[in-house]
Amino acid sequence: MSFDWMKIPYAFLTLFIVVNYGFLLGALVQKIAARVGSRHGIPIWQNYVDMVKNYGQRTSITHGVMFYMGPVFRLSGGVGLLLFVPSIYGSYMFSNLSFAGDLILALYFIFFGTLGMALGAGESAHPHSAIGISRGLSQVTTAELPLALAVFSVSLQYHSLSVTEIVAAQQGGFMHWTLFTNPLAVTAAMLSFLGSMMRPPFDVVIAPQEIPIGPPTEYHSSYLALMQTNRAIFPVAKIVIFMNLFFGGASDWSTFFFKVFLIYMWSAFVGVVFPRFRVDQSIRWFLIWAVPFGILSIVLV
């Protein structure tokens, strides 16, 4: 199979669009959470200011190679996930670098960034980082289980591991979406989505007001900027996967922005309504409520 080098510029254009959309969505969610708490909240452009400031700073502190590779792995997970799935269905320009069987690769990328971040933060030997890592890996592992079950159910339903083919099977009207043809799998996946976004009540890693900020405690300067950039890319990239697998994909950018916004707001709504779980409560919640839906979806398919 030959590689189409002409897709490279379009892939970078997709990345540029998603980064900016991710920054705006992140600021909007922070604004909503602040208003719910009777606060004014940050300006909508604050994330851009923070990113430019941090990219312009340097550090002379050293904790070893892996410590500084952590944010790189984290960003690679978000960028890789975005570029190896199609953003716009039926578009040559924005199909990115997707190929047959790319669903398995996408699942690897989802966990790749988290594991790299854990290895990097662990080398700092900071106790708060260790606490954040143990919490994060425990929750991520449990939250990924119902997602994996939902993905297996969908791949069995459509007899394909290609994201493009799965989107193609959902064309012809919204009643063909997996949301309506396999609602149990979508339920398991959307419950898993809450944990993967790490917003309340599942923000056990960052743990506001309890430990400083989990694994990123000692990260600063351009390394912190890499993590901020990934916070804009990774959530949108994960939502693109969910949109393609369960909600019919997007045939143009207006549909893309609309569907990504609605899926993003699902986690934001839950986050402003419910307080944070303890780690054991979070893990138990996924095992009791999300995993059974994933198992049932496979059984019924």
pLDDT score of 286? 93
pLDDT at 217: 62
In terms of C-beta density within 10 A (0-12 exposed, 13-18 middle, 19 or more buried), how is residue 270 classed? middle
- Rounded to whole angstroms, the Cα distance separating 21 from 252 reads 15
Residue for token pair 């990113």: 51
DSSP for residue 217: G
Two structure tokens written together for 3: 């590689």
pLDDT above 80 (res 78): yes
pLDDT of residue 8: 84
- Phi-psi region at 82: left, alpha or beta (left = phi > 0; alpha = psi -120 to 50): alpha
- Helices 65-83 and 102-122 pack at an angle, to 10 degrees, of 160
* 203-241 tens-digit pLDDT: 877 665 554 555 556 677 888 888 889 889 999 999 999
The domain spans of the chain are 7-300
Q: How far apart are the C-alpha atoms of 235 and 46, rounded to whole Å?
A: 18
Residue 22 scores a pLDDT above 90? yes
Burial of residue 95 (CB within 10 Å: 0-12, 13-18, 19+) is buried
| Inter-residue contact 195 to 286 (CB < 8 Å) | yes
DSSP 128-176: HHHHHHHHHHHHHHHHHHHHHHHHHHHHHHHT---HHHHHHHT-SSGGG
Q: Which two tokens stand for residue 178?
A: 């997996």
**pTM given for the model:** 0.91
DSSP type of residue 275? P
Query: What pLDDT, in 10s, does the model give residues 96-122?
Result: 877 755 888 888 888 887 787 788 777
Is residue 109 within 8 A of residue 161, CB to CB? The reply is: no
* For residue 191, pLDDT beyond 70: yes
- Cβ neighbour number for residue 45 with a 10 Å cutoff: 11
Q: What is the pLDDT of residues 250-266, one digit of tens each?
A: 999 999 999 999 999 99
* Paired tokens of 283: 């893990």
> Would the CA dihedral through 84, 24, 216, 132 be positive or negative?
negative
